[in-house]
Amino acid sequence: MTTIPATPGTGPDPSRPTPTPTSPDAGRTPAGLVPGASPDAAELARVASDRAADLLAPPAPVRLHDVVPAPEHVRPDPDGDFTLRADAALRVGPAGRDVAEQLAGWLRPATGYPLPVTDITVPDADGPLTLTLTSNGGGPADGRSAADGRSADGMSADGGSGRGLGAGPVDGEGLGAEGYRLDVTADGVRITADTAAGLLHGAQTLRQLLPVAIESPTPTGERWTVPGGTIVDRPRFAYRGVMLDVARHFFEVADVLRVIDHLSRYKLNHLHLHLTDDQGWRIAVDSWPRLAEVGGATAVGGGPGGWYSRDDYRRIVAYAARHHVTVVPEIDLPGHTNAALVAYPELAPNKIAPPPYTDTEVGFSYVDPADERTYAFVADVFGEVAALTPGPWLHLGGDEAFKVPAESYRAFVERAQALLAATGKTVVGWHQLAPAGHADGRVLQWWGTDGDDPETADAVRRGARLILSPANHAYLDMKYAADTPIGHDWAGLTDVRRAYDWDPGSHVHGVPAEAVLGVEAPLWTESITNRAEVEFMLFPRLPAIAELGWSPRSTHDWAGFRERLAGQGPRWTTAGIAFHPAPEVPWPHATIPTQAVRGSASATR
Ligand code: TNX
């Protein structure tokens, strides 16, 4: 293993006074004290107590290797632990300001520190340099997702690079669309990236390296020590996602935003929203208003349903963009359309409105593939949803249209693909689309349970790329164990190890790793009705799928993963995130299950 060269700019800052052991900040005016004025006694006491605590500093409680998903390269430096102080400021260039504001927003509640965000280009920006976010430039500025799903070409981290710092972009160059470099020294923390998305991933890594109490919503008086060393990190796959089915049960905007927070924590970059199904149509379409008004009024079990107005949907995509998450909207066609047929019987093959459907069978409904009106509907809906969606993808479903004969299905899909492409978006669909003709750039989402799938492999040979969602590993609606109170088991029971132990790069026979765009964990919600239940099914399997999508294959190791995952439990408990305390994970004692999710223990505050 070769060693990493010294990081430019991470040594002592020459513009800062040289600290001495007895006076770490000699010559510096403590933050909040006006130079030349007489400091008040309380302020002096605070500074003195900070300094005393420094001298008694225990080693950092979190280790640099504890991060989930596992970074590409990690090099700890036991002499480089950094302690965040009350007078810290975040210094940042213009391209990183929004990320710095987000990071400060995560750190302020628990620390109680003001943590101002200051401009790195302004000489003597207020506050000592303690955290630094800089962008190398060259990537998109804040607010735009760098994760367009095509950005990681040539970035595969496979090849046995290991977790030392012997290979890879150790000088901050070549970090790609989402990579970052994090340097922690006794003098400060520096995050470097080519893009705002990379900076955000680096900031999430820093958040995990702070003590568990950083998740507290109120100040805790902790010593905020970060383990010293360097991490250089990039994703293995460009597409790393979660699907939320908001059609079977409806979830309010606030719940969706919270799911985006969870994605961002684990460096996932796509949120697929399953917006339409038999039981509900959840997105307003101005040209076909009854879709939402009538089709949105039902849900599994007979609840009131709901739907997103255009503004609701805009809020979701804007919040996602700020987290460098791309929203992938799905309009499921030609099957799974009972709610649309209730609203517009003209779309039904027999032109008669079916009764609203609130049960959980699949495969009985479809829009009439022989009627031109159906294609006007498809074009209008795709046009409006595409116009509201900044990301490059539109998902047209295509699954389980059991009642549509193969030839009509194929002809329908080919026309729908063309209508979708006419909106400027790229086709995504479930792998049932495979027999239909190729559309430029099209992506199939594979949800099989047997990797021997010649039809899908053939579609890949004709140019398709794959998102891997094997139902027996990545479907987060599967029960963890036979006694899990919610969820399905048609694809088997999916404990954390099963969610983790597979390789997206070689899962489907005849599909090379280069054709794999990434991974996605779908959460179908027939039996999932509220936020706590969503979290109970996501955690702790979401980080397992996130690690498969992000980390180099060389880091794959169940024994190590379960240890690192265990360290996340107290963070979720402190943050009020419900989770399943899976027995195969050695949770620390502090992670006490306290809240029942329909009869089962889950850990939350
Ligand atoms: C299959 S997988 C479905 C969904 C169900 C899910 C339940 C796929 C594309 N379709 O309609 O909700 O199983 O696990």
Mean pLDDT of 290-299: 98
Name the closest-CA residue to atom 4, ligand 1.
Answer: 524
Q: Is the pLDDT of residue 22 over 70?
A: no
CA of 13 to the centre of ligand 1 (A): 56
Q: By percentage, how much of the chain surpasses pLDDT 70? A: 79
Residue 446 Cβ inside 6 Å of ligand 1? The answer reads no
Tokens of 247: 């059609």
- Residue 13 pLDDT class (50, 70, 90 cuts): very low
pLDDT at site 58: 57
pLDDT at site 593: 53
- Residue 15 pLDDT class (50, 70, 90 cuts): very low
Instruction: Report which residue type is found at 360.
Output: T
- Residue 275 pLDDT class (50, 70, 90 cuts): very high
Q: Tell me the angle at which helices 531-538 and 541-550 cross, rounded to the nearest 10 degrees.
A: 50
Query: 588-599 burial string, b = 16+ CB within 10 Å, else e?
Result: eeebebeeebee
Q: Please, what's the largest Cα pairwise distance for the chain?
A: 86
* CB distance 331 to 385 below 8 Å: yes
Q: Is the pLDDT of residue 373 over 80?
A: yes
Q: By percentage, how much of the chain surpasses pLDDT 90? A: 75
pLDDT at site 93: 83
pLDDT at site 185: 92
Cβ contacts of residue 308 below 8 Å, gap of 6+? Answer: 246, 253, 275, 282, 283, 284, 316
Q: Is the pLDDT of residue 273 over 60?
A: yes
* CB distance 64 to 229 below 8 Å: yes
Lowest mean pLDDT of 40-44, 112-116, 127-131, 236-240, name the range: 127-131
Q: Cite the beta strand spans of 157-207 per DSSP E.
A: 180-185, 188-193
Helix (H), strand (E) at residue 258:
helix 253-265
Q: Is the pLDDT of residue 293 over 90?
A: yes
Q: Is the pLDDT of residue 414 over 50?
A: yes
* CB distance 566 to 585 below 8 Å: yes
The CA distance from 434 to 334, in Å, is 15
Ligand 1 pocket: which of 337, 395, 493, 524 to mutate (most atoms within 8 A of CB): 524
Q: Is pLDDT larger for residue 132 or for residue 568?
A: 568
Name the closest-CA residue to atom 12, ligand 1.
Answer: 524
Residue 399 Cβ inside 6 Å of ligand 1? The answer reads yes
Q: Is pLDDT larger for residue 208 or for residue 59?
A: 208
Average pLDDT over all residues of the chain: 85
pLDDT digits (tens, 9 = 90+) for 503-537: 999 999 999 999 999 999 999 999 999 999 999 99
73-76 sheet: strands from edge to edge: 73-76, 229-233, 180-185, 188-193, 129-135, 89-92, 117-119
Pairing relationship of beta strands 465-468 and 188-193 according to DSSP bridges: unpaired
Q: Is the pLDDT of residue 17 over 70?
A: no
Question: Which sequence positions are flagged as catalytic?
Answer: 400
Instruction: Report which residue type is found at 420.
Output: L
CA of 560 to the centre of ligand 1 (A): 32
The CA distance from 239 to 178, in Å, is 11
Ligand 1 pocket: which of 331, 332, 337, 399 to mutate (most atoms within 8 A of CB): 399
Helix (H), strand (E) at residue 559:
helix 558-575
- Residue 384 pLDDT class (50, 70, 90 cuts): very high
- Residue 604 pLDDT class (50, 70, 90 cuts): very low
CA of 52 to the centre of ligand 1 (A): 59
The CA distance from 173 to 200, in Å, is 17
Q: Is the pLDDT of residue 218 over 90?
A: yes
Q: Is the pLDDT of residue 287 over 50?
A: yes
CA dihedral 526, 530, 534, 537 (to 10 degrees): -70
Q: Is the pLDDT of residue 241 over 60?
A: yes
User: What length does the chain have?
Assistant: 605
Name the closest-CA residue to atom 8, ligand 1.
Answer: 399
Q: Is the pLDDT of residue 600 over 70?
A: no
Q: Cite the beta strand spans of 97-175 per DSSP E.
A: 117-119, 129-135
SS3 of the chain: helix, strand, coil, percent, to 5: 35, 15, 50
Tokens of 342: 């209730």
pLDDT digits (tens, 9 = 90+) for 104-146: 999 999 999 999 999 887 766 554 434 566 555 433 333 333 3
Q: Which atom of ligand 1 is nearest to the CA of 475?
A: 14
**Nearest C-alpha neighbor of 269 from the set 260, 281, 257, 280:** 260
CA of 242 to the centre of ligand 1 (A): 14
Q: Is the pLDDT of residue 589 over 80?
A: no
Q: Is the pLDDT of residue 312 over 60?
A: yes
The SS3 of residue 225 is strand
Q: Is the pLDDT of residue 488 over 90?
A: yes
Q: Is 7 exposed, middle or buried (0-12, 13-18, 19+ CB in 10 A)?
A: middle
Q: Using DSSP, how many helices (H) and how many strands (E) does the chain show?
A: 15, 21
* CB distance 239 to 225 below 8 Å: no
Helix (H), strand (E) at residue 229:
strand 229-233
Q: What is the DSSP letter of 334?
A: S
pLDDT digits (tens, 9 = 90+) for 152-181: 222 222 222 334 443 344 444 589 999 999
pLDDT at site 252: 98
Helix (H), strand (E) at residue 558:
helix 558-575
Instruction: Report which residue type is found at 400.
Output: E
pLDDT at site 121: 75
pLDDT at site 120: 80
**Nearest C-alpha neighbor of 485 from the set 600, 367, 581:** 600
DSSP secondary structure string for all residues of 51-88: HHHHHTPPPPSS-GGG-SSPPSEEEE-GGG-EEE-TT-
Q: Is pLDDT larger for residue 116 or for residue 598?
A: 116
The CA distance from 420 to 413, in Å, is 10
* CB distance 386 to 328 below 8 Å: no
Tokens of 375: 């294609």
CA-based Rg of the chain, rounded to a whole angstrom? 25
Residue 363 Cβ inside 6 Å of ligand 1? The answer reads no
Name the closest-CA residue to atom 7, ligand 1.
Answer: 524
